[in-house]
Structure 1
């Protein structure tokens, strides 16, 4: 699968320094990381937040807005959980709006967190302090041009699209599915089936990114 945009090679240290320019004390900025399943979004986001430290950055993943399994079952979408219409996109947009507008003396904003161990989200799990200048958010659909996704994207200062090789991305996906209890056959089925269909849609949004990055 080819992304029709220049891919910039960068080290993690270089990305940290780019993120640091957005972490301006006394201000509020939002950095988004997106890319296909297995692109390394959550790993890179965690590394950026760790490198910058809790005084400068916090991570608020999009995955906290997975619709609950019982809701997906009622909608007939449980078998394709992870697709763009299996998320509460409006809730995510409203949270990003609240985070964007948070002032230095405002109350804490609480965000949900998705727990893969139970395949469900837990609300009010991530406290976003008003004094933290940079909020990093990551997820598959930050650059989607339908539903409520554009409302959220309009409030994000920069969105970086992570673009590892397809081979590396597939390897990561298979390992991830195996780590959460799937057999090698089941892991490969998900990585090359549902995940890959989502990847094709997500890759088509790369042209809207501020930066397309391949880590070296």
Structure 2
């Protein structure tokens, strides 16, 4: 049964520890600007060296792939990610039969994925996977949820989330008008789609940090 909670990172870390498993893959989903990355980072701090954060953003299609195509104006939409690569990584993490698995990260400012940036040793117990489309059911995306032991959906009020996105875009080099336009158009289109997937989560977290 899906539960709604307002909780701290410490309380959520206790939820994770209460589950018995050699390795847990925890999915943290939600629209852009909800604070998924911040929450995942704070959970990792609580869980210590036994944890690692793996962002889905590392599977953004690189700029040379999408430049000159309609995808460029929808960067961040579900079809601007390499779902096959992401799913392959999750399946390898699920099997956990390699000494170390390397995952890509996404470099803000550069706005590009960087290969082999995150090392996940076989001894890591808690893998915190965060991203927009973890609960999507379209095509191969539906297999992502089967790789997660538990999935949480993060909700943040639009009046907090949208200004946060505008600030992020400005910090990445957009002028303020372009940043506001992007946050209220492509980002919001994606947010509405992502919101429609939240029924696939085990827990809905109200988060304002």
Unaligned runs of 5+ in 1: none
Which range moves more in the overlay, 136-145 or 10-19?
10-19
Which range moves more in the overlay, 138-147 or 168-177?
168-177
Unaligned runs of 5+ in 2: none
The alignment's C-alpha RMSD in Å is: 1.6
Aligned partners of 2:146 and 2:68: how far apart in 1? 31
- 1:62-119: per-residue Cα shift (whole Å, max 9, x none)? 001001111112543111110000000011001000001014xx32111111112211
Aligned partners of 1:102 and 1:178: how far apart in 2? 39
Show the counterpart of 1:82.
76
Aligned partners of 1:125 and 1:22: how far apart in 2? 28
Aligned partners of 1:169 and 1:32: how far apart in 2? 20
- 1:11-51: per-residue Cα shift (whole Å, max 9, x none)? 22211211233475xx1110010101111001100111112
1:17 to 14, 22, 33: 14
- SS of equivalent to 2:67: helix
Where has structure 1 moved over 4 Å in runs of 4 or more?
A: none
Aligned partners of 1:23 and 1:208: how far apart in 2? 22
Show the counterpart of 1:70.
64
- SS of equivalent to 1:10: coil
Q: TM-score, normalised by structure 2?
A: 0.93
1:36 to 24, 31, 43: 31
CA offset at residue 135 of structure 1? Answer: 0.4
